[in-house]
């Protein structure tokens, strides 16, 4: 049975129950990023470009986007630290139902590998647990060590994760009254080298200017937030292809952090306000220089899950809609070694009524979100 949604014919398909076999599906539309109209058949959780019989046509005219990627997310983390299983599941579902079908988990105190056993949840690439100095990060989140133990802890977290390690690069130093690096350059370089020996890449939380400059020089593989990036560091990142995940929507908390710290730490408060005021300019400089930039929400802890579209909209403010969409879909998938939409690839896609390059708001009204061939959400789902 077909219905009209903005001039687009589509079928109502009930979501597949967990463990159930999804129906054979067919969808026709303009497939991004190529921009060519194609037919895709979905069977056994995979995409086929060969016609299949007995398929339900989900949409006859649509726009089709590879499943979205949240490149900075924390499944299994709540305000107090590690989440219980039910909460972690709710977080993963909230991300999935907003179109996030691949997550790069940028540190969590909970081991969530058990989520991989179900087709119900997005794929997750983990960084193990945050690594920070003792009492130099939010309580309950990080493995806290002193510099002499950093290399050993990096090896531990490299083996705990899925190819990434997450350092806390800087945080407020109460004695200095401002952001300062947690690790000296020599220690950081040794830790990064150790991660590479374990087959893992390293990324780091960085708000200020000094930490990212030193960490990029030490060979790090990514920078999170990056509000303090200067021209020299941006150029070094561009030259080496070091990616930035700016979490622009989350940076909206900076004025509140500044106000809360004003009385005790006026220098810190002024610094945060300055970083906030030039946040778009900083990210714009990185984009213009050729730094790979990807979309991430920083969901988890105190941040809600399922907000990736807001981050895409924030990135579009700086780089335009098509750039922002690619940063949260096909380019991010390529960076993380996951396929987009071709014959034999996993059937992880979003079916839309209008062109998201012209109307990002359509991401909030998907006809269908399809994960591993299962319709999990959307207006085409019963």
pLDDT, one tens digit per residue, over 138-196 is 999 999 999 999 999 999 999 999 999 999 999 999 999 999 999 999 999 999 999 99
pLDDT tens, 200-225?
999 999 999 999 999 999 999 999 99
Mean pLDDT of 60-83: 97
Given a contact cutoff of 8 angstroms between Cβ atoms, the answer to whether 349 and 64 are in contact is yes
pLDDT at 14: 52
pTM score above 0.85:
yes
pLDDT at 204: 98
Mean pLDDT of the chain: 94
pLDDT at 5 over 80: no
Q: Where are the domains of the chain?
A: 2-66+341-377, 69-334
- The CATH number that domain 2-66+341-377 falls under is 2.30.40.10
Q: Which residues does residue 223 pair with via DSSP β-bridges, in sequence order?
A: 204, 244
Q: Return the CATH fold of 69-334.
A: TIM Barrel (3.20.20)
Say if 2-66+341-377 and 69-334 have the same CATH topology. Answer: no
Mean pLDDT of 26-37: 97
pLDDT at 11 over 60: no
pLDDT at 222: 98
């Amino acid at each position: 049975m077909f219905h009209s949604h903005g001039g687009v014919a589509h079928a109502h398909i009930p979501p597949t129950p967990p463990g159930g076999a999804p129906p054979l599906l067919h969808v026709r539309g303009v497939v991004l990023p190529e921009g060519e109209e194609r037919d895709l058949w979905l069977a056994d959780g995979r995409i086929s470009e060969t016609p299949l019989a007995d398929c339900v046509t989900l949409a006859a005219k649509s726009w089709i986007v590879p499943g979205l990627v949240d490149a900075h997310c924390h499944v299994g983390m709540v305000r107090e630290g590690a989440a219980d299983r039910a909460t972690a599941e709710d977080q993963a579902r909230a991300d999935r139902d907003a179109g996030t079908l691949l997550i790069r988990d940028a540190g969590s105190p909970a081991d969530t590998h058990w989520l991989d056993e179900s087709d119900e949840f997005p794929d997750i690439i983990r960084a193990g647990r945050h690594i920070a100095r003792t009492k130099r990060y939010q309580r309950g989140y990080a493995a806290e060590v002193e510099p002499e133990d950093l290399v050993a802890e990096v090896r531990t977290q490299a083996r705990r994760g899925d190819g990434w390690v997450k350092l806390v690069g800087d945080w407020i130093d109460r004695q200095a009254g401002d952001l300062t690096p947690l690790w000296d350059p020599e220690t950081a370089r040794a830790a990064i080298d150790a991660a590479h020996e374990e087959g893992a890449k390293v990324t780091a939380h960085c708000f200020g200017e000094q930490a990212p400059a030193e960490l990029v020089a030490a060979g790090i593989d990514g920078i999170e937030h990056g509000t303090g990036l200067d021209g020299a560091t941006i150029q070094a990142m561009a030259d080496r292809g070091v990616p930035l995940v700016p979490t622009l929507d989350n940076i909206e908390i900076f004025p509140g952090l500044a106000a809360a710290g004003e009385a005790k730490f006026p220098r810190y408060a002024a610094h945060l306000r300055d970083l906030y005021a030039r946040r778009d300019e900083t990210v714009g400089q990185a984009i213009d220089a050729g730094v790979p930039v990807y979309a991430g929400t920083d969901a988890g802890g105190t941040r809600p899950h399922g907000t990736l579209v807001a981050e895409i909209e924030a990135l579009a403010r700086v780089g335009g809609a098509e750039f922002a969409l690619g940063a949260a879909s096909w380019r991010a998938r390529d960076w993380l070694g996951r396929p987009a939409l071709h014959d034999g690839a996993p059937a992880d896609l979003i079916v839309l009524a209008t062109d998201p390059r012209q109307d990002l708001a359509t991401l909030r009204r998907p006809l269908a979100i399809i994960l591993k061939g299962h319709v999990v959400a959307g207006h085409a789902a019963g």
